[in-house]
Amino acid sequence: MANRTELNETLGAGSPSSRLVGLIPAAFLEVVTLLGNGTVLAVVLRTPALRKAIYLAHLCLVDLLAAVSVMPLGLLAAPPGLGTVYLSRGQCRAARFVTTTLVSACTLTLAALGLERYRYILHPLRPRPRPPPILVLGIVWGVSGLLGGLSLLGRPSPNCSLVAGPPGPFRPLWAILAFALPALLLLVSYGSIFRVARLAALRPPPPAPGPRPRSDSLDSHLSILPPRLASPHLVGGKAALTLALVVGQFLGCWLPFFAACLLPGRWSIGIEVALTWLAYSSFAAHPFLYGLLQRPVREELSRLARAWLQAVPGPWHCPPGTWLPQSFLKLLRGDPESPALDPSAGQEANTMTAEGPGLDPGETT
């Protein structure tokens, strides 16, 4: 009991109202992470054309593992978590290992995904050999497990924190392998894609007779926004937008967290909680950023959404011509030819209309 009281005084646990303010957005991130990554993973597994997107599926799987382990721990554990459950020394070590391993696997998978997209877009027809994805993912988990094991060395912080306390030899190595290296690879891969897209956009396209077909250019595969929202004055604008979103999201989420891990000094609980959940928001952003960046994912999501709407009873289940003005007037009259009525319903409606005032046929034209 004395140790717990001393720990409370040391951590400066917040009031229940302040914890509630932090719990609401954190719980929202948890739900978005589960739903977003689960949806994209299901789309990848259901679509034969996307089953080769192994790195995207692996990223969603890592995010889901973080959503069922790391993020609930941040919600339930005592400060620097948002809850009131105090962890023992063994539980702290387990939490430290799982957090370090999954964070490293996530950032390294992002780097592998960026390099794979670089090779697919810029060298689609070159028969150069590439390492098999199983080998790459094995290296990712090997390095992540090694970093997780190294995080257990030394004296752990009293509050299971990865940010507070002296940096030690582990944190610089973790920052280099799990942050600096993936950030450099992302910048190089997407920067090269932007450079090639810019050079391709500067070339005048050959004149093509007839209506312009749907764009299938390099630049059209790189944006999560429709073409009307991309700036027409920016050469290679979609590739530039992709570069800004991917690299900006990675640096915005992980740079403050790893910078706090490297800087000496003791951080307050409020700052540590904010930096930790800013980093965890990356798990919720990945399905939208990396899933919607691919046109096949967007098209398959649209197809599944339309199929679901057709299967659910409702006004959207009617045929396309039902809600045109003439069809709507026929529906009011009970015309058996109305697409919204079956023959039996049309006969019944005609009987009801004959007994009372109806619309003149000329009014429907």
Question: For residue range 306-318, what is the model confidence (pLDDT) as tens digits?
Answer: 887 777 665 555 5
Among 171-175, 216-220, 252-256, 354-358, the range scoring the smallest mean pLDDT is 354-358
Q: Which residues contact 46 (CB under 8 A, 6 or more apart)?
A: 300, 304
- Which has more pLDDT, 183 or 50? 183
Task: Check pLDDT > 60 for residue 349.
Answer: no
Pick the CATH number of 16-204+235-305 from 1.20.1070.10, 3.40.50.2300, 3.30.360.10, 1.10.10.2840: 1.20.1070.10
C-beta atoms surrounding 76 within 10 Å = 13
Report DSSP state, residue 77.
B
Q: Is residue 212 exposed (0-12), middle (13-18) or buried (19+ Cβ within 10 Å)?
A: exposed
Q: Output the average pLDDT for the chain.
A: 75
In the chain, the percentage of residues whose pLDDT exceeds 90 is 31
Tell me the mean pLDDT in the region 233-245. Answer: 71
pLDDT attached to residue 86: 83
Task: Check pLDDT > 90 for residue 356.
Answer: no
User: How far apart (Å, rounded) are the C-alpha atoms in residues 90 and 112?
Assistant: 33
Cβ atoms 283, 71 nearer than 8 A: yes
- Which has more pLDDT, 212 or 95? 95
The phi and psi torsions of 39 (rounded to 5 degrees) equal -65, -50
Q: Which residues contact 315 (CB under 8 A, 6 or more apart)?
A: none
Q: Is residue 257 exposed (0-12), middle (13-18) or buried (19+ Cβ within 10 Å)?
A: buried
- Which has more pLDDT, 210 or 109? 109
pLDDT band (50, 70, 90) for residue 298: confident
The phi and psi torsions of 152 (rounded to 5 degrees) equal -85, -15
pTM given for the model: 0.73
Q: What is the pLDDT of residues 160-215, one digit of tens each?
A: 777 766 667 888 999 999 999 999 999 999 888 888 877 777 776 666 555 555 54
Radius of gyration of the chain (CA): 28
Which alpha helices (DSSP H) does the chain contain, by range? 2-11, 16-46, 54-68, 70-76, 89-122, 133-150, 170-175, 181-202, 237-262, 269-286, 295-311, 325-333, 343-354
